[in-house]
Amino acid sequence: MASPLVIAHRGTSGERPEHTRAAYDLAIDQGADFIEPDLVVSRDGVLIVRHENEIGGTTDVADRPQFADHLTTRTVDGQTVTGWFTEDFTLAELQSLRARERLPALRPANSAFDGQEPILTFQQVIDIARSGSLRTGRTIGVCPELKHPTHFAAAGLAMEDLFVAVLDANALTGTDAPILIQCFEVGPLQRLAARIDAPLLQLMSVAGGPVDRPDLTYAAMATPDGLATISDYAGWIGVETAMIAPDLDRSQTSLIADAHAVGLKVAAWTFRAEPLFLPPGAADLTAWLTAFRDYGLDAAFSDFPATAVAVAGR
């Protein structure tokens, strides 16, 4: 059985503030196969790396009086959110901010790194991966997630066009390119499949469905028929771990086998070490990852890539 690929979820986000250069460099040094940036868009049309387009919890924007008038309430994918949004800031303004730990109560040690690093662009993360490849002698892939493309399109920001332009500039559109492109929405992936040959991954969760397809649920997409439809435009699915095994005391679902039967590879998210995130039956992160490795998982998203690499046997 092949060992699963390790995707460093927002970098080594269990040990450094997520989406920072320090988190990505550490993930590469720990042996990750891919580093993962979440992509959102600035007002002037640059792809930047943040967990969400609302940045109040991951930067020091609330402490910057010059941006107090940017505080607003907006509806994003049907949810009402109050905060500071990337689409209201230029790239220069965003890069004047500094990153901070998103989960300080859970990961207080990471807060020691607050204020040290700026927000990165997608291009900078590609450059970090390439530098890491040269440093380690391994090919480090990038696994970008397009966040809220329908929301950005409604705001006049053509996320897909911006994304393809960066891929073109970096020769990352081919079948063998070291990239794996994710989205929870369906339409963006289908349109990308018609424009590029790079690997695509359909994200799914236990609840809900793609915001751009109110006629669909992720549960329906995870059926054999739904998976066959996904295989028409993507080569991977990326699913919440509970869709494969809600806990480790019971047998796994048929999702991995069903996906493999139609030629899809399966990644699962997100493997974290803190007890809050461990499923019933898992003594620790190593036990959780080991079980999923033995289920036949093709890739694991983890905040702690060193542990995932060790379980993968590399």
**How far apart are alpha carbons 139 and 133 in whole angstroms?**
5
**pLDDT, the chain, mean:** 97
Q: Tell me the average pLDDT across 112-123.
A: 97
Cβ burial of 195 (10 Å; 0-12, 13-18, 19+) is: middle
Say if residues 50 and 18 touch (Cβ distance below 8 Å). no
Instruction: Write 77-82 long-range contacts (CB < 8 A, 24+).
Output: 77/148, 77/150, 77/151, 77/211, 78/211, 81/54
Cα 151 to Cα 139: distance, rounded to the nearest angstrom: 33
pLDDT attached to residue 314 = 82
What percentage of residues in the chain have a pLDDT greater than 70? 100
pLDDT of residue 265: 98
* Ranges of each domain in the chain: 5-312
Predicted local confidence at residue 151, as pLDDT: 97
Determine the pLDDT at residue 123.
98
CATH 3.40.50.1860 for the 5-312 domain, yes or no: no
Look-up: residue for tokens 């995707």?
7
The kind and range of the H/E element at 267 are strand 265-271
Give the Å distances, CA to CA, from 176 to 96, 196, 199, 202, 260. 36, 11, 8, 18, 20
Residue-by-residue DSSP string for 151-174: HHHHTT--HHHHHHHHHHHTT--S
Q: Is 104 exposed, middle or buried (0-12, 13-18, 19+ CB in 10 A)?
A: middle
pLDDT value, residue 144: 98
CA dihedral 103→104→107→111, nearest 10 degrees, is 120
3-state SS, residue 3? coil
At residue 251, the pLDDT reads: 85
Q: Is the pLDDT assigned to residue 1 strictly greater than 90?
A: no
Q: How far apart are CA 156 and CA 170, in angstroms?
A: 25
List pLDDT tens digits, range 242-251. Answer: 999 999 988 8
Q: In the β-sheet with 200-204, what is the strand arrangement from edge to edge?
A: 47-49, 38-41, 145-146, 181-183, 200-204, 236-240, 265-271, 299-302, 5-8, 34-35, 141-142
For the stretch 203-227, pLDDT in tens is 999 999 999 999 999 999 999 999 9
Inform me whether the pLDDT recorded for 15 exceeds 70: yes
pLDDT of residue 2: 73
Taking residues 85-92, what's their average pLDDT? 98
pLDDT at 52: 97
171, HSE (Cβ side, Cα atoms, 13 Å)? 2
Mean pLDDT of 78-86: 97
pLDDT digits (tens, 9 = 90+) for 282-299: 999 999 999 999 999 999
Q: Give the pLDDT score at 172.
A: 98
Helix, coil or strand: residue 135? helix
Q: Looking at residues 220-240, what average pLDDT do you find?
A: 98
Nearby residues of 30 by Cβ (< 8 Å), 6 or more positions away: 8, 12, 305, 306, 309
d(CA 152, CA 285): 36
